[in-house]
Amino acid sequence: MNENEGINRRVIQWFPGHMTKTLRLMEVEIKNVDCVLQILDARIPLSSLNPELERITASKPHLYLLNKADLADPAITKQWLHYFQSAGAGCLAMDSKQRGGAGAVKAPIERELSALLARRRNRGMVGARIHVMVVGIPNVGKSTFINNLAGSARAKAANRPGVTRGKQWITVDEFDLMDMPGVLWKKFDSLEVATHLAFIGSIKDDILDIEELACGLLSSVRSIYPTQLLERYKLGEDALALPPYDLLQAIARKRGMLVSGGEADTERAATMLVGEFRASKWGRISLERPPQRQPEADFDGEEGEDVAQDDD
């Protein structure tokens, strides 16, 4: 089984109607903001970089947040920061669950908007508010980040990618943040992207086959973090050579997950495995590495002309 075989292809058709509405709303509201904060998942920065959001927000200065950095491999996150920054894009790593951590975003936003803020100062517009649109895929941590920045439990964090929310403005110091509901792709060109989004829980689990998901995850992780997997499930090295479904069965047996007749309860083991991966019980894991070659203009944050909305 190759690493992409774990997810049924119907995953790539999932684009609920409310996401279409959100994209339309963004197309209208983008004119009313000074910059865009795109929240990515540090474990899968490229797969969580939604091309639809990139297209709609391309005219505005950008800052990328590699959120859930506490769950990702710190050495790989460093490489990703370098990757984005060397493409001219503002980028920082974030653990939105760490109290007060989100405040670190304010200075980089002001840096991205330095030309606009200088113009405002020259016109005596001291204290003019900075409008920021916060975008990202479902479950990437937008509410958690905004709550952290706002210092309250304003938006309820929910680990349910199907949950719909409308546009909301949140005021924090001189910033007005426009919190947008999470949006996925209309159509996934890459099965690997869809697979990675399913692993981290950005695609509704109800439409996934949990055993396929767990087998895909085992297949991916055993090649990049074999030790974590072996240690967590107390397996011998020879287990790494097993086909993913046999590995799933071996793990079920190790955990005493059996059905009547002594067969391995693979469904229960699969649910346990996916849950433990998402809860970082396997250790800090990054599923994606930066591509070797630097992109020319993959991101919208290139230095150069300031295209922020003017205040005339």
Catalog residues that contact ligand G4P under the rule CB under 6 A: 67-68, 70-71, 95-97, 136, 138-144, 157-159, 182
Give whichever of 159 and 190 is closer to ligand G4P, judged by the CB atom. 159
State the nearest-atom distance from the C-beta of 147 to ligand G4P, in Å. 7
Structure tokens at 197: 């989004």
* Burial class (CB within 10 angstroms; exposed 0-12, middle 13-18, buried 19+) of 53: buried
Structure tokens at 294: 């630097």
Closest CA to 295 of 85, 91, 93, 92: 85
Gyration radius from the chain CA atoms: 21
Return the amino acid letter for 173.
D
State the nearest-atom distance from the C-beta of 287 to ligand G4P, in Å. 15
Give whichever of 239 and 285 is closer to ligand G4P, judged by the CB atom. 285
* Phi, psi dihedrals of residue 179, rounded to the nearest 5°: -90, 115
State the nearest-atom distance from the C-beta of 153 to ligand G4P, in Å. 10
Give whichever of 181 and 244 is closer to ligand G4P, judged by the CB atom. 181
Give whichever of 75 and 279 is closer to ligand G4P, judged by the CB atom. 279
State the nearest-atom distance from the C-beta of 142 to ligand G4P, in Å. 4
- Report the DSSP pairing between strands 90-93 and 168-172: unpaired
Comparing every residue's Cβ against ligand G4P, the nearest one is 159
Give whichever of 148 and 249 is closer to ligand G4P, judged by the CB atom. 148
Structure tokens at 64: 């990328």
State the nearest-atom distance from the C-beta of 157 to ligand G4P, in Å. 4
